């Protein structure tokens, strides 16, 4: 026996087999009919959402259920939206986070967190029955939720993968609350200085501690004298034409990124640019040795002919 009116069939399909009690009532399904079906063919999710099957919900259904539970005007955001959009640096914690307008209620259920906001995102992204906060809002809210290096990692990944621009992040940080924004602001400032990943930022910090080395350019625009574009190294000591690379599969977000990194070293070497490469682990566990190696290379190259290349600081926007 089915209590689902034909008028609800398209909605049921769009919502992955889920309906709210209100949708059922508005379509003419009685309280008695709902009670009869619950436990036989249907089950309740979060107390107000009806799953029209008795099996476990898949990830897509869990997200739709959270959206329906949060109610009108709800937007999926923070780490939940970041993971949905494919940002791999955001850890999975099993909680679906949503925001509702200030007049609604904050609510908690196992695996779901609904928080009020005075700033509903006017630029939400709609995906079927789901509504997500915009990329800049998503990244900043996710970074606010995280701690330590994870804050920098999500900001760097979002910019590197061109999910957002630095200007968009800076504007969103300024528009939001000052409280809890210090780490996010610092990460945005770092990426605006040219760092595109946490290891690159750590390399920059390490080299800046040297009393010998000149300023190191991060991800500069590099060309030959003739104007041919060269790959951009992670760091570049412009005075002597020394390229510095941080190589790690875990910080290159696709196999193509890793292959590109290897081709970058080859292309720079072909252009006569010496390349020094390090792993993130070496930077963290033996930074002093890395720094000494770069300083020795710098002193040696001061006595050599500089490669015929032109480096310009990259404007990150």
DSSP one-letter string for 77-129: -HHHHHHHTT-TTSPP-S-EEEEEETTS--EEETTEEEEEESS--TT-EEETT
Per the domain annotation, does 38 fall within a domain?
yes
Same domain, 204 and 255: yes
pLDDT tens readout for residues 138-196: 999 999 999 988 998 899 899 888 899 989 999 999 998 888 889 999 888 888 766 66
Q: What is the pLDDT of residue 315?
A: 54
CATH at residue 245: 3.40.960
Can you tell me the distance from the alpha carbon of 138 to that of 32, in angstroms, rounded to the nearest whole number?
41
Tokens describing residue 134: 């915009």
Does residue 169 sit in the same domain as residue 250?
no
Token output for 70: 């949060």
Q: Which residue has better confidence, 62 or 247?
A: 62
Euclidean distance between the first and final Cα of the chain, in Å? 58
Does 317 fall in a domain? no
Structural domains counted in the chain: 3
CA distance 122 to 279: 42
Same structural domain for residues 180 and 72?
Answer: yes
Answer yes or no: do 24 and 66 share one domain: no
Q: Which of 165, 192, 219 is the last residue before a domain boundary?
A: 192
Residues 16 and 115 grouped into a single domain: no
pLDDT, one tens digit per residue, over 288-312 is 999 999 999 999 999 999 999 999 9
Q: Which residues lie across from 114 on neighbouring strands?
A: 98, 107
Evaluate whether residue 230 is within a structural domain.
yes
Is 158 contained in some domain? yes
- Contact (CB, 8 A) for 36 and 2: no
Q: How confident is the model at residue 261 (pLDDT cuts 50, 70, 90)?
A: low
170 plus 229 within the same structural domain: no
Which tokens hold the place of 264? 């970058």
Same domain flag for 66 and 186:
yes
Same domain, 288 and 262: yes
Q: Is residue 37 situated within a structural domain? A: yes
Quote the domain boundaries for residue 48: 6-57
115 — phi, psi (to 5°)?
Answer: -120, 145
- Residue 201 pLDDT: 76
Residue 48 in any domain: the answer is yes
pLDDT value for 317: 39
79 and 131 belong to one structural domain? yes
* 226 occurs within a structural domain: yes
Alpha carbons 104 and 107: distance in angstroms, whole number: 9
pLDDT in tens, 20-76: 999 999 999 999 999 999 988 999 999 899 999 988 999 999 999 999 999 999 999
Contact between 244 and 236 (Cβ < 8 Å): yes
| Co-location of 49 and 80 in the same domain | no
Residues 43, 125 within the same domain? no
Same domain, 65 and 188: yes
pLDDT higher at 5 or 314: 5
* 207 within some domain: yes
């Amino acid at each position: 026996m089915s209590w689902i009116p034909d008028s609800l069939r398209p909605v049921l399909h769009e919502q992955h087999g889920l309906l709210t009690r209100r949708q059922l009532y508005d379509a003419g399904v009685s309280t008695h009919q709902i009670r009869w079906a619950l436990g036989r063919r249907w089950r309740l999710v979060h107390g107000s959402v009806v799953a029209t099957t008795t099996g476990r919900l898949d990830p897509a259904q869990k997200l739709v259920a959270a959206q329906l539970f949060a109610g009108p005007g709800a937007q999926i955001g923070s780490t939940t939206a970041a993971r949905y959009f494919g940002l791999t640096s955001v850890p999975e914690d099993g909680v679906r986070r949503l925001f509702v307008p200030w007049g609604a209620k904050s609510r908690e259920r196992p695996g779901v967190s609904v928080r009020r906001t005075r700033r509903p995102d006017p630029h939400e992204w709609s995906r079927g029955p789901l509504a997500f906060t915009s990329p800049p809002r998503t990244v900043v809210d996710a970074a606010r939720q995280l701690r330590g290096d994870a804050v920098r990692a999500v900001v760097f990944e979002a910019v590197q993968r061109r999910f957002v621009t630095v200007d968009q992040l800076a504007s969103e940080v300024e528009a939001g609350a000052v409280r809890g924004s210090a780490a996010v602001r610092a990460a945005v400032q770092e990426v605006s200085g040219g760092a595109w990943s946490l290891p690159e930022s750590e390399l920059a910090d390490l080299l800046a501690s040297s009393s010998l080395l000149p300023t190191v350019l991060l991800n500069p625009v590099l060309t030959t004298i003739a104007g041919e574009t060269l790959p951009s190294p992670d760091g570049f000591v412009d005075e002597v034409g020394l390229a510095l690379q941080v190589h790690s599969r875990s910080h290159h977000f696709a196999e193509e990124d890793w292959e590109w990194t290897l081709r970058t070293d080859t292309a720079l070497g072909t252009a006569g640019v010496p390349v020094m490469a390090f792993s993130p682990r070496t930077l963290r566990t033996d930074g002093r040795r890395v720094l000494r190696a770069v300083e020795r290379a710098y002193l040696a190259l001061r006595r050599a002919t500089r490669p015929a290349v032109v480096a310009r600081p990259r404007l990150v926007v």
